[in-house]
Each structure stands twice: as structure tokens, then as C-alpha cells.
């Protein structure tokens, strides 16, 4: 009799394997994440002889700077750490319709003009659909080839035969291997497809971009092991109904994970936003209460953003608090500081806090901006539109220091601001700035008095 195929249970969150179903994963502690799938047969060596492995002394290993390919898109190059590293595996995730395929197609167009051989493999669109979208972006070089295929073995054979410099897989959830009985997008299929592409990238020195679908929580669909296997994980964020997009790196083995790239969606594709601060402050109301400009750092880039607050008496017994673009619990904490340290009666008030433009920031440096916006709306007194504030607020009402205050002040000066309220301990590191009034404060009460 034929031997029955063994089934095992995989955790959809972390990829952990168990022989039986469990309610909670013992590794990632998530509940109800185990799914049953057929176990792959063990792959033995073709010759039956194991290759001998010898450890190498760390001091004998020669290191050279990674060979990078510049995409000429400064926003993308910054997020990648200076360009595309040859032989790297890059995962790009984002909501449907956010512009993942558009961004990668633009990268293919630029690199094709620079003489790179590129193959674009799509499992979701036909070649004609990709051609129609490409025509809106401009003229493409003959070095870009299209392949509409979902079979992993066929894709591997084409890549080994063509030997391109760069390959794009759109998307990893549509790829399937004939050796696995489960459906495309399952834990086994995604893990096997990523493992095959990783061996192609490292073994042949091919840079491979992988497009990944995201769940409703905003993370890449499939096992968490997918993000562990790749070299770089990029998330494309933003409201698809708005014009701007933010490219954020959450993992990068070849650069910083604090950098972001800002793009604007137009008819002919994505356009880089060279000065995101000016872009975010465009259309700011004048002489309106509850509007304060703060500064947040994303890596080495200071970004000025408008914080809006609306405080009004509640019509119900339970006041409503809403936060868009920042942490809801942080807003509640800061309102408690205002009640306790300044005696402001906010317990019977509705409070709505919003970061204009739809951008999301969680840096503690915007605490002072949120506090002053709440006070401005509560007292119905507008803040000087040419004043910028930043600083972390503690539970006792003190204003604490933040990183890189000098860069924040210089960015504000470049955009025409003439007053800056910042933590008092940071005044010395900032020094004197021409045509800029620097005001250092020790606590929230001092900041309110200066305004």
C-alpha cells in the first residue's frame, strides 16, 4: 500500500510547526493561528554525499562595500540605504491600489535605461494590462521582459536561463509549487517560494523584488518567517484616495530602518516629494485656534507637520476622545497631565486630535505640539502661525529633551518660521540662529505662558 502523506500544522503568524493542532502558538503566543497542511518530503542530496563544511576565521574574511545600483529616485535610494544592493531580496508590502506595482515598474524603467537586464514576473495581471499601465509612465527600454506565470518551477527555470540582473515577483501570494499540495498563498507555498527565490538571489547575484499582500492589520500576509528570510522589508503607506504615499523601511540589512521616502501619485506615476515639510503644511489655516506646527524626525530627515485639536463640551455623560495620525493612549495621557498639573477641566470635554495630511507620527517630540494644540482649542486662542514647537512631555508636566534639535530648528528656519519653543536643556546645543527666536521651556506651564 502507498504510504499516506503526513500532515502537520503551521502557525500562520511565525511559521512554527507542530504535529497536532494547538489553540495558542508556543513561540509567538498568538491564538488560533494553526492551519493543517501536507508536509513536504525530505529532499536528499543528489549524489548521496554531504558537502564538507569548514568554518572560517572572522579576521580572514575580506569585506568590501556592497555594490549598489542607484535608481535615480532619491527617495527610494535613501530608504534602501544608498541604492539597490546586488543579490539582495527586497519585500515590498502595502494596501491594494497603493502603488506597489507602479513604483517597481518605474524602477524597472529607470534601470532599463541604465543597461540593466530586467524581468518582470506577474501572477495577477496579463501582459497587456502591464503594457497599458507602462504606456502612461513613458517609453520603456527593450531590456525589460514580461512573464505572466505563477508556477514556481517554471519561473526558476526562466530566471536561470535568462540570468537577469533584476527580477520582480508580483506577487508572492500567487506563486505555487507543484511539489506542495496546498493552495497558493498558504504558509507552505509562501515559505517554499521565498526560499527558492532567496537561493536564486544569493547564488546568482540577482536582485529580486517581491510584492506582498497585506492583512487588515497592515502586516504582510502569510507567515512571519517571510519577513525574516528577506534582506529588506519596505511598506508603502498612505490613503489610496489621497495623493501622497510614504515608503517606510521596517527591516534593512544594508542600511538604516528610520528613513522614509515621500511620493505623490500622479497620472503618469509616482513623483518624488523633495520637501515633504512644505508639502504637509500646504493649505494650513491662518489665525485658527487648535492649530500648532510641530517637528518630527524620520531618520535623518526633519518633517514639519500641523497638529490640529478640537476641544468642546460633550453633550453626553461620557466624553469622546479621538486621535488620527498619532497614538490614542498618548493623547489621553497628555490630557490627564493638563488636568492634574494645570487644573484644566477637560473631564467633561470631547477632544479630537488630528495630524493634517493623513501622515502618522508616534515620535515623543510631538507631545508638546499636541498639548499646545489642545490648550489653544480649549481657550479658543490661536497660536502664532510662524511658531514651531517640539519636545517630549513627562507625567509631571516637564518638557524633556529630544534628539537632533539643531536640525529641527534649521528646517523650520528654511520654511520661514521665526520662533521656536523647545526644551530648555536643548537650547545650548542649538546655539544662536540668525533671524530665529529660540525659547527654552522647562515645563508645559512655561510653554503656554510664552504663547
Distance of CA 384 to the CA centre of its chain: 33
Question: How far is it, in rounded angstroms, from Cα 381 to Cα 184?
Answer: 58
Question: How far is it, in rounded angstroms, from Cα 155 to Cα 176?
Answer: 10
Q: Is 95 labelled a binding residue?
A: yes
3-state class of 291 per DSSP? strand
394 touches 402 (CB < 8 A):
no
Q: C-alpha cell of 398?
A: 516637564
For the chain, how long is the longest CA-to-CA vector? 88
Kindly report the length of the chain. 451
Q: Which of these, 310, 250, 242, 314, lies nearest to 279 by C-alpha position?
A: 242
Q: For 367, phi and psi rounded to 5 degrees? A: -60, -50
Q: Is 101 labelled a binding residue?
A: yes
Q: Which residue do the cell numbers 497660536 mark?
A: 383
Q: For 144, phi and psi rounded to 5 degrees? A: -90, 120
Q: Read out DSSP for 377-413?
A: HHHT-PPPTTEEE--EE-TTSBEE--S-HHHHHHHHH
Q: Is 138 labelled a binding residue?
A: no
Q: What is the DSSP letter of 45?
A: P
Q: Which residue do the cell numbers 574574511 mark?
A: 61
Question: How far is it, in rounded angstroms, from Cα 150 to Cα 163?
Answer: 19
Q: Is 94 labelled a binding residue?
A: yes
From edge to edge, which strands make up the β-sheet containing 269-272? 144-148, 118-122, 166-170, 207-212, 89-94, 232-237, 244-252, 260-266, 269-272
Q: Is 405 labelled a binding residue?
A: no
Residue 274, Ramachandran bin (φ over 0: left; ψ between -120 and 50: alpha; else beta): alpha
Q: Is 289 labelled a binding residue?
A: no
Q: C-alpha cell of 80?
A: 534602501
First to last CA, the chain: 85
Question: How far is it, in rounded angstroms, from Cα 157 to Cα 196?
Answer: 11
Q: Which residue do the cell numbers 529641527 mark?
A: 408
Q: Is 440 labelled a binding residue?
A: no
CA dihedral 364, 368, 372, 374 (to 10 degrees): 30
Q: For 219, phi and psi rounded to 5 degrees? A: -100, 160
3-state class of 308 per DSSP? strand
Residue ranges for the known binding site are: 94-101
Residue ranges for the known binding site for ATP are: 94-101
Amino acid at each position: 500500500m502507498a504510504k499516506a502523506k503526513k500532515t502537520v500544522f503551521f502557525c500562520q503568524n511565525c511559521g512554527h510547526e507542530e504535529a497536532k493542532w494547538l489553540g495558542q502558538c508556543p513561540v509567538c503566543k498568538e491564538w488560533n493561528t494553526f492551519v493543517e497542511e501536507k508536509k513536504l518530503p525530505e529532499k536528499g542530496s543528489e549524489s548521496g554525499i554531504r558537502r564538507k563544511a569548514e568554518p572560517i576565521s572572522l579576521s580572514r574574511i575580506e569585506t568590501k562595500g556592497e555594490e549598489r545600483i542607484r535608481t535615480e529616485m532619491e527617495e527610494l535610494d535613501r530608504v534602501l540605504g544608498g541604492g539597490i544592493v546586488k543579490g539582495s531580496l527586497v519585500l515590498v508590502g502595502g494596501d491594494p491600489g497603493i502603488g506597489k506595482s507602479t513604483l517597481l515598474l518605474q524602477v524597472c524603467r529607470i534601470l532599463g535605461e541604465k543597461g540593466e537586464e530586467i524581468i518582470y514576473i506577474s501572477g495577477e495581471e496579463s501582459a497587456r494590462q502591464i503594457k497599458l499601465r507602462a504606456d502612461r509612465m513613458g517609453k520603456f527600454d527593450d531590456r525589460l521582459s514580461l512573464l505572466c506565470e505563477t508556477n514556481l518551477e517554471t519561473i526558476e527555470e526562466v530566471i536561470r536561463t535568462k540570468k537577469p540582473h533584476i527580477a520582480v515577483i508580483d506577487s508572492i501570494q500567487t506563486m505555487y509549487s507543484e511539489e506542495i499540495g496546498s493552495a497558493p498563498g498558504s504558509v507552505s507555498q509562501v515559505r517554499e517560494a521565498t526560499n527558492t527565490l532567496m537561493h536564486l538571489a544569493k547564488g546568482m547575484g540577482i536582485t529580486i523584488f517581491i510584492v506582498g499582500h497585506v492583512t487588515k492589520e497592515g502586516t504582510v500576509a502569510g507567515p512571519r518567517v517571510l519577513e525574516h528570510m528577506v534582506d529588506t522589508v519596505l511598506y508603502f503607506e498612505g490613503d489610496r484616495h489621497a495623493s501622497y504615499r510614504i515608503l517606510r523601511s521596517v527591516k534593512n540589512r544594508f542600511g538604516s530602518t528610520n528613513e522614509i521616502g515621500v511620493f505623490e501619485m500622479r497620472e503618469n506615476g509616482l513623483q518624488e516629494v523633495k520637501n515633504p515639510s512644505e508639502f504637509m503644511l500646504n493649505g494650513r489655516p491662518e489665525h485658527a485656534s487648535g492649530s500648532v506646527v510641530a517637528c518630527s524626525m524620520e531618520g535623518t530627515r526633519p518633517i514639519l507637520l500641523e497638529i490640529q485639536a478640537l476641544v468642546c463640551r460633550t453633550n453626553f455623560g461620557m466624553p469622546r476622545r479621538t486621535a488620527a495620525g498619532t497614538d490614542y493612549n498618548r493623547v489621553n495621557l497628555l490630557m490627564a497631565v493638563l488636568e492634574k498639573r494645570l487644573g484644566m477641566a477637560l473631564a467633561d470635554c470631547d477632544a479630537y486630535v488630528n495630524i493634517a495630511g493623513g501622515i502618522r507620527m508616534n515620535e515623543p517630540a510631538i507631545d508638546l505640539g499636541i498639548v499646545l494644540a489642545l490648550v489653544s482649542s480649549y481657550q479658543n486662542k490661536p497660536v502664532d502661525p510662524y511658531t514651531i514647537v517640539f519636545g517630549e512631555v513627562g507625567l509631571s508636566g516637564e518638557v524633556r529633551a529630544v534628539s537632533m534639535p539643531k536640525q529641527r530648528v534649521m528646517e523650520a528656519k528654511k520654511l520661514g518660521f521665526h520662533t521656536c519653543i523647545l526644551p530648555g536643556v536643548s537650547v545650548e546645543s542649538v546655539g544662536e540662529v540668525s533671524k530665529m527666536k529660540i525659547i527654552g521651556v522647562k515645563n508645559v506651564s512655561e510653554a503656554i505662558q510664552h504663547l
